[in-house]
Structure 1
């Protein structure tokens, strides 16, 4: 049976801008803690490989992605690594306001994953990742010029809530000290 995680965030940017950035996987390491790199898989235009750490151990997984720009939806299913699937949708709240809603179905197999889910840490991490995503998009979207926007997009951020600090202390990763 899959565990379901739901998270949502408001973004002070248009729905189209929000969707554009959410479907640009190269920037995921900027807002997803523990994700170090995302790259397309050769020969599979809709497959992406994620490199991340869990409890200090480097890991990889691949997802197959389907996007629908008209509806501003992104769906994925794991192709390798931990079994999971997800759905994200960006809704318009106004001309410069959107809501990003995320739903994940996770097949938790490892003890650390089950403990993290039981403590609510996976949901907390998903919500924090979405808040960092919103801040990232807003900073890029409201940059004074394209050069500043590129610097923001290529830079680094570190926003840790007390619960993230606890999670990083209990399940340390290479990023925990950032």
Structure 2
């Protein structure tokens, strides 16, 4: 399994960066390999990706989610991916976003892309684009402040506040 890590310091409060990251449907706006993300349930996402001419669809379960701290996930079935994103405050108006992805390359093209560092470069570029995206807006497009532990949404954390746009249904 290959592991890719990257971090970026963002000039917004940790709450703003975290809130934006929970808006998975916006990922195609700053992640070059992501075509679409749907969130049919609070703890499940459906992804459509493309990299190097190869398209994939898969589901990912959110296994841990703690507001302003972290989101962790793993795919259901193939491809085999795990990941986490952590948020650390660097003061009132700045934070660090650290992304860690583990994956098993499938096929010769994916193994070559991994060996050449192409996947690592894409992940780091996506982090830089996230920084530009959220700093350019200056605020999040929505939020989901629920807590997930062991893939289970904790009681009452799935109830949306009345002001949250784009609330996931299901």
Q: TM-score, normalised by structure 2?
A: 0.77
1:69 maps to which residue?
A: 67
Q: Deviations over 1:42-92 (max 9, x none)?
A: xx431101112233243201110131115x100000113310101110101
2:75 maps to which residue?
A: 78
Q: How many aligned residue pairs are there?
A: 140
CA distance in 2, matches of 1:94, 1:110: 44
Q: Deviations over 1:105-159 (max 9, x none)?
A: 11112211111111111111100000000110001116xxxxxx87xxxxxxxxx
CA distance in 1, matches of 2:54, 2:46: 16
Stretches of structure 1 lacking an aligned partner (at least 5 in a row): 143-148, 151-178
CA contact (8 A) 1:49 1:60 kept: yes
Higher helix share: 1
CA contact (8 A) 1:108 1:114 kept: yes
Cα displacement (A) at 1:24: 1.1
Q: TM-score, normalised by structure 1?
A: 0.74
CA RMSD of aligned residues (A): 1.6
2:155 maps to which residue?
A: none
Cα displacement (A) at 1:34: 2.1
